[in-house]
Structure 1
């Protein structure tokens, strides 16, 4: 049975306002000893991308601009322009000091190594 508060939390995550309008869609996954986030930022100048981490909150901001051409009158202008942002709450098990950011073909890929203390460890059992 789903309680009202549980449902509210679930829908808040699913329909988070950071993904509507000015937000950017993302995929997040772990591969080996690194955590990856791929964020769609098509049409963004890489120089406009700002990536910050403050107290385990990752914030990505960028700006999409329309190239203005003298004498051009747009009949249809559906491609979004303006500021784009997204925030992700990161685990304490990630080494954000070693974050790597790369932009290729409209996708910003962030790679964050998993800390040594968060990696699986095997312990030997001593016989009595």
Structure 2
């Protein structure tokens, strides 16, 4: 059986993934690392106006949305247009150990950086244990 498909369907899908639309945002690239008691997350958002960045956390789901628009200039003819424009979006599921109330965000040189500290309840702590008649001593938890 011979199946016919639209030869441009895959090209259209790839274009939508790169450029993004309001209904189907483009993916932004991300790196994450832990340094001591803080997690750092880095999102590549070159050329994005910082005012277009929306950052929300709800039930340990972090969502980042941003938009990059092409600046229209009267009388200027576009010769090449390869840079992705439109809406970019990314969701991350955060661990319960993170204190999202103390999340800090900065945007510099096209990179959105989030610093998310580990919550105090999740940090290791020492617990005092009574040892018979010999008194109390510290045991690491």
Alignment: residue pair count: 109
Unpaired runs of 5+ residues, structure 1, are 1-19
CA–CA distance in 1 between the matches of 2:130 and 2:84? Answer: 63
Look up the match of 1:78: 82
Normalising by structure 1, we get a TM-score of 0.80
Look up the match of 1:121: 125
How large is the Cα RMSD of the aligned pairs?
Answer: 1.3
Unpaired runs of 5+ residues, structure 2, are 1-16, 19-25, 133-141
CA–CA distance in 2 between the matches of 1:125 and 1:74? Answer: 73
Structure holding more strand per residue: 2
Q: CA deviation at 1:125?
A: 5.3
Normalising by structure 2, we get a TM-score of 0.73
CA–CA distance in 1 between the matches of 2:70 and 2:126? Answer: 54
Structure ranking higher on relative contact order (CA contacts 8 Å, 6+ apart): 1
For 1:84-95, what aligned pairs fall within 5 Å after superposition?
A: 84-95=88-99
Partner deviation per Cα, 1:34-53 (whole Å, 9 max, x = no partner): 11100000010000000000
Kindly name which structure, 1 or 2, has the bigger radius of gyration based on alpha carbons.
2
